[in-house]
Amino acid sequence: MTEVTARAVLIDLDGTLVDSTGSIERAWARWCAERGADLTRVLQIMPGRTAESVFAEILPGLGPAEMAADADRLLGWQVEDTDGVVALPGAAELVAALAPAAWAVVTSGNRPLARARLAVTGLPLPDVLVTTDDVRAGKPDPQGYLLAAARLGADPADCVVVEDAPAGVAAGRAAGMAVLAVGPPAARDRLAGATWWVAGLDEIRARVDSGQVTLFAAA
């Protein structure tokens, strides 16, 4: 059993709190069909990253205006497509145990998409929600996590990040934060940069006492 105490818990959205795999893959498949891009390669590299960073790697010839327009369309398709989007096991219990001033969501999607997914899953909208609308660079850049910590009034060293993607793990570590990686055993190697790992949020318990959060998780 692993135990860590922190001032704030900063949580990724897609793949960590919610399962939005179907919506994400359908949107990327549509984009790849329109652009003639390799969907298999896209699905390998896109978890946790902004659309623009994926575009730059897959189709480096796209200009900034085209990238911005494509990113807007890609996110718009996902806002409209909430079919199969559900809260992951343990997500509701974890956030219900946390005081509003003790947690935030940090996502590579925009604000309308994050709000749509939280709403359809019944998860609460946090007081602090950091999206691509709030930062200049997305994960693996640490900006999002550092901004969330600042908005909660927490020192980065006194925060724990909960993530499911390598880019998010890298962002949390670059921010100087402990990182709890969430994913099946097959994902453990690619999440090796995390401080520790569990298979799912249902393995985590939280206790809040005197403004501090203690997370108990499998080692």
Instruction: List the one residue out of 114, 111, 112, 131 whose CA is nearest residue 123.
Output: 114
Instruction: Select which of 14, 19, 141, 164 is catalytic.
Output: 14
Instruction: Select which of 12, 19, 141, 164 is catalytic.
Output: 12
| Residue 29 half-sphere exposure toward CB, CA atoms < 13 A | 6
Structure tokens at 26: 């359908």
Phi, psi angles (nearest 5°) of residue 197 = -140, 145
| Block residue for tokens 């249902």 | 202
State the alpha helices, DSSP H only, in 61-140.
Answer: 64-80, 91-96, 111-121
Task: Look up 127 and say whether it is catalytic.
Answer: no
Peptide bond into 124 cis (omega under 30): no
Structure tokens at 69: 């327009």
Phi, psi angles (nearest 5°) of residue 17 = -90, -35
Task: Look up 14 and say whether it is catalytic.
Answer: yes
| Block residue for tokens 């997370």 | 215
| Block residue for tokens 């950091």 | 130
Please state, in angstroms and rounded to a whole number, the distance separating the CA atoms of residues 207 and 215: 7
131 neighbors 148 (Cβ within 8 angstroms): no
User: Active-site residues: which are they?
Assistant: 12, 14
